[in-house]
Amino acid sequence: MSKPSLLILPGDGIGPEVMAEVRKIINWYGAKRGLKFDVSEDLVGGCAYDKHGTPLHDDTMAKAQEVDAVLLGAVGGPKYDNLDFSLKPERGLLRLRKEMDLYANLRPAQCFDALADFSSLKKDVVAGLDIMIVRELTSGVYFGEPRGIFKEGNERVGINTQRYTESEIARVARSAFELAMRRNRKLCSMEKANVMESGVLWREVVTEVGKEYPDVALSHMYADAGAMQLTRWPKQFDVIVTDNLFGDLLSDLAAMLTGSLGMLPSASLGAPMANGRPKALYEPVHGSAPDIAGQGKANPIACILSFAMALRYSFDNGSEADRLETAVNTVLAKGLRTADLLGEAGVAPVSTAQMGDAVVEALNESL
Ligand code: IPM
Ligand code: MG
């Protein structure tokens, strides 16, 4: 049987540094668990623009369509702020999401025991937190037409369009219900049905799909109230499903509940390919952090845990994903902290590479 294929797109800023640590983990699985991958690497974002004049070369796009999974670091940086919209690093990522049709973006917000003190919320509010946000990723106001800045009489008008079809809502709802079935069978759908027609339709369609899942307790919340409830008592939630823009906001909020954006992975999944695996892209929730890039300060854990999600969702290997997540927990319990996680007196930060090495060490100990 041929090896499963991985396309690595480290991207910009801290992307290459954190991805170097994921490479160590991938090599470990090849050497110690017989899990060998056919790994290739390419450019996305600002670095692709520098080389090719576009944030995603067509050849890279074609490769991404063929592999079993894409692992992405981060894109963007101040150097590219003044580029035309169509050339910005972020467009590379958005093109991957859109053309691979990665409609279900899974963003777990999990509080690691050793880090419960890092949250800006009280410890008992976040300790043990484990929720999953399912964000619709290929439609809504991110892609709706018309869009642009137009002239209207004497002034300019900026336009974006929130647009959802029934089938777009139904398929992401189904992904969320399926996940809820494997978790605690609770799903909360968030929109603004009180002010937006697209929200009214969202609520109707999610309710209809819910009839196929009588074992899942479905609730609905306006997204603004959802933000409030997420900060008040996040443990009331299990799975949350929401649209592209609300999901962008709510997932950053949920991520920060856990203490650091440097800890959280994500999976973006599409329809199954011929081999049964979903089209998939895995990336940390954090960005390219240009302020600390190249200094060995970045936390590689979000990117490492993104690979754990790949093991679980693309390679159907939940037990090895568990092993990797446990290794991360072990390292944190030992007290290792990258600079983003400092706060305890007398703790000196470890570098990106030291954190990666420590996870490899914990994997060795797990054997
Ligand atoms: C995210 C990011 C992206 C988004 C940017 C980089 C385009 O914020 O993945 O949450 O807005 O979706
Ligand atoms: Mg975001």
Q: Are residues 273 and 207 in the same domain?
A: no
165 and 221 both lie in a single domain: yes
Q: Is residue 114 part of a domain?
A: no
pLDDT at 261 over 80: no
Domain boundary among 217, 233, 257: 257
Tokens matching residue 243: 């649209």
Residues 43 and 69 in one domain: yes
Per-residue pLDDT at 258? 83
Report residue 1's pLDDT band, with 50, 70 and 90 as the boundaries.
low
Q: pLDDT digit string (tens) for 130-185?
A: 999 999 999 999 999 999 999 999 999 999 999 999 999 999 999 999 999 999 99
- Give the mean model confidence (pLDDT) for residues 268-277: 93
* 125 lies in some domain: no
Angstrom distances, CA of residue 83 to CA of 10, 15, 78, 80:
21, 20, 10, 6
- For tokens 């919320």, name the residue: 121
- Which range marks the domain in which residue 177 is found? 130-257
Q: How far from the centroid of its chain's Cα atoms is residue 293's Cα?
A: 20
Ligand 1 atom 10 nearest Cα: 248
260 pLDDT more than 80: no
Q: What angle do CA 19, 21, 23 make, to 5 degrees?
A: 75
CA distance linking residue 175 with residue 320, whole number of Å: 23
- Label the pairing between strands 130-136 and 69-74: unpaired
> Where a domain ends, among 200, 230, 257?
257
Q: How many structural domains is the chain composed of?
A: 2
Write the pLDDT tens digit of every residue in 203-256.
999 999 999 999 999 999 999 999 999 999 999 999 999 999 999 999 989 988
Specify whether 101 is catalytic. Answer: no
Whether residues 144 and 83 fall in one domain: no
Rounded Cα–Cα distance for residues 33 and 27 (Å): 10
The share of the chain scoring above pLDDT 70, in percent, equals 99
Q: Does any domain span residue 367?
A: yes
Integer Cα distance of 206 and 171 in angstroms:
9
Catalytic residue among 80, 142, 213, 282: 142
**Among 230, 288, 220, CA closest to 254:** 230
Computed over its alpha carbons, how large is the radius of gyration of the chain?
20
Q: Is 224 a catalytic residue?
A: yes
Active site residue 322: no
Q: What gap in Å lies between CA 186 and CA 244, rounded to an integer?
A: 21
Do 154 and 189 share a domain, yes or no? yes
Is 113 among the domain residues?
no
| Residue at a domain's end among 203, 222, 257 | 257
Instruction: Say which CATH number the domain at 312 has.
Output: 3.40.718.10
Tell which one of 75, 81, 93, 97 to mutate to probe ligand 1, the residue whose CB is within 8 A of the most ligand atoms.
93
Give me the mean pLDDT over the 81-97 stretch.
Answer: 95
User: What is the arithmetic mean of pLDDT over 76-85?
Assistant: 95
Cα 244 to middle of ligand 1, angstroms: 10
Whole-angstrom Cα distance, residue 33 to residue 306? 18
Kindly state whether residue 62 falls inside one of the protein's structural domains. Answer: yes
Same domain, 50 and 8: yes
Record the tokens describing residue 251, joined without a space.
Answer: 């997932």
Tokens of 363: 């994997």
Burial of 53 (0-12, 13-18, 19+ CB in 10 A): exposed
Q: Is ligand 1 within 6 A of the CB of residue 241?
A: no
Evaluate: CB of 261 within 6 angstroms of ligand 1. no
Residue 49: partners with Cβ closer than 8 Å, 6 or more residues away: 55, 80, 83, 87, 89, 92
C-alpha 211 to ligand 2 mean position (Å): 31
**Ligand 2 mean position, distance from CA 69 (Å):** 21
Q: What is the pTM of this model?
A: 0.94
